[in-house]
Chain A
Amino acid sequence: MKLTGAQIIIECLLEQGVDTVFGYPGGAVLNIYDALYEYSNKVTHVLTAHEQGAAHAADGYARTSGKTGVVIATSGPGATNLVTGIATAYMDSVPMVAITGNVALSLLGLDSFQEVDITGITMPVTKHNFIIKDIKDLATTIREAFHLANSGRKGPVLIDIPKDITAQINEYEKREPLPIEVVCKMTDEDLEKAVEMINNSQKPFIYTGGGAIHSNAKDQVFQFASLCDAPVSSSLMGQGGYDNTDKRYIGMLGMHGTKTSSLAVSECDLFIGIGTRFSDRVTGEIKSFVPNAKILQIDIDPAEINKNVRVDHQLIGDIKCVLTKLNDKVKKKNNSEWMDKIYTYKEQYPLIQVGPKEDILTPQYVLETLNELTNGEAIITTEVGQHQMWTAQFYNFKEPRQFASSGGLGTMGYGLGASIGAQVANPDKKVVNIAGDGSFHMNCNELVTASKFNIPIIELLFNNNVLGMVRQWQRLFYDKRFSQTTLDRPTDYIKLAEAFGIKGYTITEKSEVRDVLQKALSADRPILINCVIDKDINVLPMVPAGTSIHQPILEIEINDE
């Protein structure tokens, strides 16, 4: 049938099973928005306050559903406002398709109004990007974009479409989505060698990352850990890939990992990394990272092998596929001596948060209460900073896709948009965005999106009036010169929430926590909780950047005048 370019775009989205897009209209996408009007019974468009919020929403939607997030923005500033969101998705391998309008073909390259070279700008932060110059390429390019976003290591793909292409007419024929090939290309010898390494190990250690979640390999990882009889640690991106309440789970590793994890890594004889890229936040000083063990890495991206850490052996492929094959071959092991030692460490070094004064309201208390009231089943998004680490430490993630946080790029302002996307993807689940007051101010405009569409997220704000994580570094390494990190802003959070049409609560005492959380959780509309905490509650343990993960700082003395 004959359709306009704009109609072809929407038809191609429907081919891919897309029923929800996030975005913001503008001149160069007028035709696309006109088609969205026509298809409004098939595609829901969530209008955010800012394109960045739309990109984060598409990201949160993708992370918590496993589907591809789709975001639409106009040319020029609309497109550049997506960049942080695209880069965030790229660093954490999130499947996303960004569609931007551009000026008409005849105006390209002439510094026309709202023209920007968005394919040039996003080249380093997308898996691939396209600019359509001929309507005949439109449908195939969109199909390829979805295929690329989801094949191998997932990631964002951008398609830039000049305005006149969206108005031109072309023949369109519906197609099935291109099949996604499961990467699993190791040889039998590769597999045998890995099995031998595992069989020869008496003290194995398993470390899981975001790859285990992208591959939906929770059951395979669990079975693998039981077969190996090993403790399991997860990266920030790996939260939920392994049940945090399971006895084998020993917490994160690296900059804010547990003492148990660091002891386990220093004593293990085999380190098995599953879907993890050995980020600098995890390894600390490379040469002391895994001192006494061989390293086996399982990852879908061959470029992650030997990039940051030299490994002894690797299996390249989709985590679920690789582990299914491994689980068939690994003999059930019994490393009770090793595991007993791990359990002893776990008891000896629990995570306990202390403030500068006795018996004050701690994020640990709030998060553990939230965990209890939601039965550890809420979807949690976060901003970036201390609250992000506390969330990973004290909320017990049990399932994949329960946690969405900007790990690689560390994007403050990510969480609120992401929570909106997560709630849209999971209307039956409770979604809570944990924020700090610094991150909150970056994109708090998206409160209006939650309010307008009655997207019933909870914005749980840990308000300490400072940029806590930076302050923590300034305290430790900059002689307590708290340069530009004492915010003390006059924002009235409750009034601000109310101005956007959102009910707000303030918590200042422990005694208020349970009651307010219960009220918020039972509301079927968005709620903001302003949880006022002391400015000197630190994230511990802490490994200073570039130092050995085996000497974490376990306490920080606060004796300010």
Chain B
Amino acid sequence: MEKHVLSVLAVNNSGVIGRVAGLFSRRGYSIQSISAAQTENPDISRMTIVVEGNEDTLEQIDKQLSKLVDVREVILLSENNSVRREHVLVKAGNGEETRNGLIEVANLFKAKVVDVGMDNLMLELTGEPRTISAFIRLIEPYGIKNLVRTGISALERG
């Protein structure tokens, strides 16, 4: 199944996420991640939604989203015409002996150490989604305690 990234501009009110999420669930569209926050204009929020589906499904998602009264614009972001980023916070490590290894991986990815505990470190990284995935894979052997990814946020180039 292909993945597609949609950038959706919508009126910034409390119900809009529910409307978008409800649309996806009742029409059976598969949503992989959604990240949303207000834009430079506090009345408008931008959601970056990653969906799975073939071209037909994508066409329907685009049209059905556009029908929501609160939705102002739906932009399909291709890999080439957009910058895509994701942010991760990960707490990992299992005692002192894993600390150096973790710091090495963090340095390799230019990740930041944002918190130091007795047994573990909290690392932070922003990057291309696949970089984030690779980073997590390399952290895994050191014992991941908690992890949070934001989902993709993306903007059109140019």
In this complex, how many residues of chain A approach chain B with their Cβ under 8 Å: the count is: 13
The reply to whether A123 and B60 form a contact with Cβ atoms under 8 Å apart is no
The reply to whether B69 and A307 form a contact with Cβ atoms under 8 Å apart is no
Least CB distance, A94 to chain B, in whole angstroms: 17
The reply to whether B22 and A303 form a contact with Cβ atoms under 8 Å apart is no
Query: Taking the complex as formed, is B79 at the interface, i.e. its CB lies under 8 A from any CB of chain A?
Result: no
Contacts of A127 in B (CB 8 A): 69
Do A120 and B18 contact each other (CB < 8 Å), given the known contacts A303-B60, A307-B60?
A: yes
- The contact of B56 among A123, A124, A302, A306, by CB within 8 Å, is A306
Query: Taking the complex as formed, is B15 at the interface, i.e. its CB lies under 8 A from any CB of chain A?
Result: yes
Q: Mark A301-327, 1 if CB is under 8 A from B, else 0.
A: 111011100000000000000000000
The reply to whether A119 and B56 form a contact with Cβ atoms under 8 Å apart is no
Complex Cα gap A212–B15 (Å): 34
Contacts of A301 in B (CB 8 A): 67
Contacts of A302 in B (CB 8 A): 63, 66
Do A123 and B59 contact each other (CB < 8 Å), given the known contacts A148-B69, A303-B67?
A: no
Contacts of A67 in B (CB 8 A): none
- The contact of A124 among B22, B69, B70, by CB within 8 Å, is B22
Complex Cα gap A302–B63 (Å): 7
Query: Taking the complex as formed, is A294 at the interface, i.e. its CB lies under 8 A from any CB of chain B?
Result: no
- The contact of A123 among B19, B63, B64, B67, by CB within 8 Å, is B19
Complex Cα gap A127–B63 (Å): 14
Least CB distance, B16 to chain A, in whole angstroms: 11
Contacts of B60 in A (CB 8 A): 303, 306-307
- The contact of B15 among A119, A303, A305, by CB within 8 Å, is A119
Complex Cα gap A148–B142 (Å): 56
In this complex, how many residues of chain B approach chain A with their Cβ under 8 Å: the count is: 16
Interface centre among A119, A120, A123, A127 (most CB of B within 10 A): A123
The reply to whether A303 and B19 form a contact with Cβ atoms under 8 Å apart is no
B11-42 residues at the A interface, CB under 8 angstroms: 15, 18-19, 22-23, 26
Q: Mark A538-554, 1 if CB is under 8 A from B, else 0.
A: 00000000000000000
B36-63 residues at the A interface, CB under 8 angstroms: 56, 59-60, 63
Contacts of A119 in B (CB 8 A): 15
Least CB distance, B22 to chain A, in whole angstroms: 5
The reply to whether B63 and A303 form a contact with Cβ atoms under 8 Å apart is yes
Complex Cα gap A248–B69 (Å): 40
Complex Cα gap A307–B23 (Å): 15
Least CB distance, A512 to chain B, in whole angstroms: 49
Nearest-CB residue, chain A, relative to B15: A119
Least CB distance, A129 to chain B, in whole angstroms: 9
Contacts of A305 in B (CB 8 A): 63
Query: Taking the complex as formed, is A128 at the interface, i.e. its CB lies under 8 A from any CB of chain B?
Result: yes
The reply to whether A123 and B22 form a contact with Cβ atoms under 8 Å apart is yes
Complex Cα gap A120–B22 (Å): 10
Complex Cα gap A120–B66 (Å): 20
Complex Cα gap A302–B22 (Å): 20
Contacts of B26 in A (CB 8 A): 124
Do A306 and B59 contact each other (CB < 8 Å), given the known contacts A119-B15, A127-B69, A128-B69?
A: yes
The reply to whether B69 and A303 form a contact with Cβ atoms under 8 Å apart is no
Complex Cα gap A124–B66 (Å): 15
A142-164 residues at the B interface, CB under 8 angstroms: 148
Nearest-CB residue, chain A, relative to B56: A306
Complex Cα gap A148–B68 (Å): 11
Complex Cα gap A52–B154 (Å): 46
Q: Mark A109-133, 1 if CB is under 8 A from B, else 0.
A: 0000000000110011001100000
Least CB distance, B53 to chain A, in whole angstroms: 14
Complex Cα gap A56–B98 (Å): 68
Least CB distance, A15 to chain B, in whole angstroms: 21
Do A123 and B18 contact each other (CB < 8 Å), given the known contacts A303-B63, A303-B64, A306-B56?
A: yes
Nearest-CB residue, chain B, relative to A144: B69
Complex Cα gap A302–B65 (Å): 12
Least CB distance, B93 to chain A, in whole angstroms: 42
A218-271 residues at the B interface, CB under 8 angstroms: none
Interface centre among A119, A301, A302, A303 (most CB of B within 10 A): A303
Least CB distance, A472 to chain B, in whole angstroms: 30
Least CB distance, A511 to chain B, in whole angstroms: 52
Least CB distance, A204 to chain B, in whole angstroms: 27
Nearest-CB residue, chain B, relative to A305: B63
Least CB distance, A93 to chain B, in whole angstroms: 12
Complex Cα gap A307–B18 (Å): 23
Contacts of A128 in B (CB 8 A): 68-70
Nearest-CB residue, chain B, relative to A148: B69
Contacts of A124 in B (CB 8 A): 22-23, 26
Complex Cα gap A301–B67 (Å): 9
A-B contact pairs, 7 of them (CB 8 A): A120-B18, A124-B26, A127-B69, A128-B69, A301-B67, A303-B64, A305-B63
Shortest beta-carbon contacts, A-B, top 9: A303-B63, A128-B69, A124-B26, A123-B22, A302-B63, A303-B64, A303-B67, A124-B22, A307-B60
Q: A124-B23, A303-B64, A307-B60 are in contact. List 12 more A-B contacts (CB 8 A).
A: A120-B18, A123-B18, A123-B19, A124-B22, A124-B26, A127-B69, A148-B69, A301-B67, A302-B63, A303-B60, A303-B63, A305-B63
Chain A residues with a Cβ under 8 A of chain B? 119-120, 123-124, 127-128, 148, 301-303, 305-307
